[in-house]
Structure 1
Amino acid sequence: MDVTEHSFRFIGCSELREILGKEAEDEKRLVELIEEVPLDSIYFHTHSYFLRHSYVERVYPNDFAQWVAMEVRDHVLGERLAVVDPFAYGNLEALRDELISVIDDHLSRTSIVPRVIFGAPFHFNQSRILEVPTGLEVTTLRAFRRALAEVEVSAIYYHVFEARHRLARAENDFSAWVREGLGLPDLAQKLQSINPYVGSLERLRSALITACDEFLAQEPAGRA
């Protein structure tokens, strides 16, 4: 977020991927590697999953759940991993611990370690997020709402996912600016309460726009 005299500058992003050279063919090896890979890899396979699938809503909203369900064909564990919400954890280490706990508990209930038979192994990656200027800068809520509708979808990711986790912000850039720059705490709370983990980035964009539209509909002309 870039706030100058109450302005908001939209920033997009791109992902620079790095292959770690670690792979798993069964769930036991998967959990072992989850324990040892860098936290950036946990981020890659959970949070930045949404950047890579920005337009499509998937049944399994992280790479771990997707692989377990589709490649190992273990739909029970796939469903359990799918409901792990990254935004419910204060940091990536806590998220890693929860993933390990879910898989360990599942493995304790089966006598055979589920593994890939005909599918592909799980390849661990990590990535760096690179900022990309968009040229969009706004100073009012109405202009902000218009920019939300037209900005490249990676900016939605950057200002919500990246801000809250890589930059350790307590809230996303949008709600922070609306609260601090525009002095609209009620709208800020509504923007902050939208769960970005439910659906695609385009669905998140729609939810943000709807919140702004509902607020603007209640405001007298010229106030926002």
Structure 2
Amino acid sequence: MGKATAPFEFKQCVSIVKSTGRKAKNLRELRNVIAKIGEESIFHHVYQYFLKGHMLEYTNDFAQWAGETLEERALAERMSCIDPYTLKSVNSVRHELLREIDEFLNCFPEPHDVVEGNEFYFNETVNLVFPVGVKTRNLAEFLVAIEHIDAGSIYYHFYDSRVRLGEGVMDDFSMWIEHTLFRKKIAEKIRAIDPFMHSIENIRECIKEIVEEHVRAEMEGVVD
């Protein structure tokens, strides 16, 4: 009897947002709070930015506030270029944020205040992760699941896994497809999806299209 394929178990990530009680009304205050705030807050505003249901112009909350509220778009674009998944820790992300802000403040040392109500509010999250009762053992089952699974599950397996696995470009989906199903080409296509250029729903569609193409090929007797 052949060895059974280890199933892919889908898990759900639910984030409960908590206020830290800290806020900033200008860029210097933002810089000073970023320097001292807990890692949980940095993680929330950078890594969990992708949990938002729609695409925004920048790639983290700090850059979004700098660009849209402070109207410092050059700084916002530089902050958006920080790729948290290529850095080894949350504190490394903090360091890069501070470096960009400090360089900007060296050129423009007197930042303006925003009007009351437009301050940057520092939050953090408590993450609850649990299995959703869906397991798949082959590409066809995986395709059905990826079409219907909750967006929080896509986030957990595609974005959060890059931090958990410590690989930067690795995600749970491609890991399973390559190392359990031994379909390296499919895994490489999934890894080639740019996490910064898509919303979670777009990520779902990209993965669906990749897997669907190969499932259809298998049905037609063509195997890569």
Normalised by the shorter chain, which TM-score bucket?
0.7 to 0.9
* Counterpart Cα distance in 1 of 2:195 and 2:47: 10
* TM-score, length-scaled by structure 1: 0.88
Instruction: Measure, in 2, the Cα distance between the counterparts of 1:87 and 1:164.
Output: 6
Structure-to-structure mapping, 1:104-119, within 5 angstroms: 104-117=102-115
Partner of 1:192: 191
1:1-224 mapped onto 2 (5 Å cutoff): 5-51=5-51, 53-54=52-53, 56-117=54-115, 120-165=118-163, 167-170=164-167, 171-219=170-218, 221=220
Aligned residues, how many? Answer: 218
Structure 1 residue 145: Cα displacement: 1.4
Deviation at residue 26 of structure 1 after TM alignment: 0.9
Q: Residues 156 and 205 of structure 1 are in contact (CA less than 8 Å); yes or no, is this contact kept in structure 2?
A: yes
C-alpha change, 1:202 and 1:31, in structure 2 (3 Å) is same
Give the C-alpha shift of residue 107 in structure 1. 1.2
Distance in 2 (alpha carbons) for counterparts of 1:193 and 1:89? 18
Query: 1:178, 1:187 within 8 Å by CA — same for their partners in 2?
Result: yes
- Return the alpha-carbon distance in structure 2 between the equivalents of residues 35 and 214 of structure 1: 47
| Normalised TM-score (structure 2) | 0.88
Matched letter for residue 7 of structure 1: P
- Percent identity of equivalent pairs: 28
Give 5+ residue unaligned stretches, structure 2. none
**Residues 45 and 60 in structure 2, CA contact (< 8 A), matched pair in contact too:** yes
| Residue type at the aligned position of 1:25 | K
Aligned-pair CA distance for 1:135: 2.2
Output the aligned Cα RMSD.
Answer: 2.1
